[in-house]
């Protein structure tokens, strides 16, 4: 091994810790498997049903929700940056705003589900809506877990004299995963024929 290679390896850094990445990579694989099953069904004999059902979805609301999650990811990434600069007051504010975006996402998702249920569209309506409710429901569960992580980060920033950067990275890693998994759900469920 050359000195340059050794220096590079030394400067490499696992954001958060290895354990959270094993968990996150596992989640990513599980979601991918489900996405694959859905993509196959979308292009199979079910295609006309899926295409007709998709017209009942509110793409604009889903777009707004995507922008909200994107913004929350930016805010959480900035909170990690502020923590590294020992700017803890600003880091706390970023975490609070990021979590606020998460709550807003949930409220809009709740409204979207309520609108569907009011129209008599449920999990049992057809195969498309079964996947719509299950996929978005599982994602909502992950948003809720992400909000618990963000609450822990806020507690860390407010109660510790020296908040741990590694803990901030762990929470941020999970939150960003929730964000980018939504990108694929948005594309698959709402946009792709």
Among 6, 7, 19, 36, the residue binding another protein under the rule CB under 8 A is 36
Question: Which CB sits closer to another protein, 93 or 123?
Answer: 93
Helix (H), strand (E), coil (C) string for 93-143: HHHHHHHHHHHHHHHHHHHHHHHHHHCCCCCCCCHHHHHHHHHHHHHHHHH
Among 12, 45, 118, 159, the residue binding another protein under the rule CB under 8 A is 12
Q: Which stretch binds another protein (CB under 8 A): 74-82, 121-129, 132-140, 156-164?
A: 74-82
Q: Does 29 bind another protein (CB under 8 A)?
A: yes
Q: Does 165 bind another protein (CB under 8 A)?
A: no
Among 23, 56, 61, 71, the residue binding another protein under the rule CB under 8 A is 71
Q: Tell the smallest beta-carbon distance from residue 5 to another protein (Å).
A: 11
Place of tokens 């409220």: 107
Question: Which CB sits closer to another protein, 13 or 162?
Answer: 13
The structure tokens listed for 60 are 């604009």
Cβ neighbours, 10 Å, residue 75: 21
- Is residue 10 helix, strand or coil? helix
Contact criterion met (CB below 8 Å) for 95 and 176:
no
Q: Does 15 bind another protein (CB under 8 A)?
A: yes
């Amino acid at each position: 091994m050359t000195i340059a290679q050794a220096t590079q390896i030394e400067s490499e850094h696992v954001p958060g810790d290895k354990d959270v990445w094993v968990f996150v990579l596992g989640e990513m694989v599980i979601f991918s498997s489900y996405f694959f099953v859905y993509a196959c069904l979308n292009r199979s004999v079910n295609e006309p049903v899926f295409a007709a059902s998709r017209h009942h979805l509110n793409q604009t609301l889903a777009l707004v929700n995507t922008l909200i999650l994107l913004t929350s990811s930016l805010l959480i990434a900035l909170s990690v940056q502020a923590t590294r600069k020992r700017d803890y007051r600003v880091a706390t504010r970023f975490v609070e705003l990021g979590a606020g975006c998460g709550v807003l996402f949930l409220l809009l998702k709740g409204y979207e589900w309520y609108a569907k249920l009011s129209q008599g569209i449920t999990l049992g309506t057809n195969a498309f809506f079964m996947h719509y409710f299950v996929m978005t429901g599982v994602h909502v569960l992950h948003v809720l877990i992400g909000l618990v992580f963000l609450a822990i980060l806020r507690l860390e920033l407010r109660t510790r004299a020296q908040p741990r950067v590694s803990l901030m990275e762990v929470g941020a890693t999970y939150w960003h995963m929730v964000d980018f998994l939504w990108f694929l759900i948005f594309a698959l469920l709402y946009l792709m024929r």
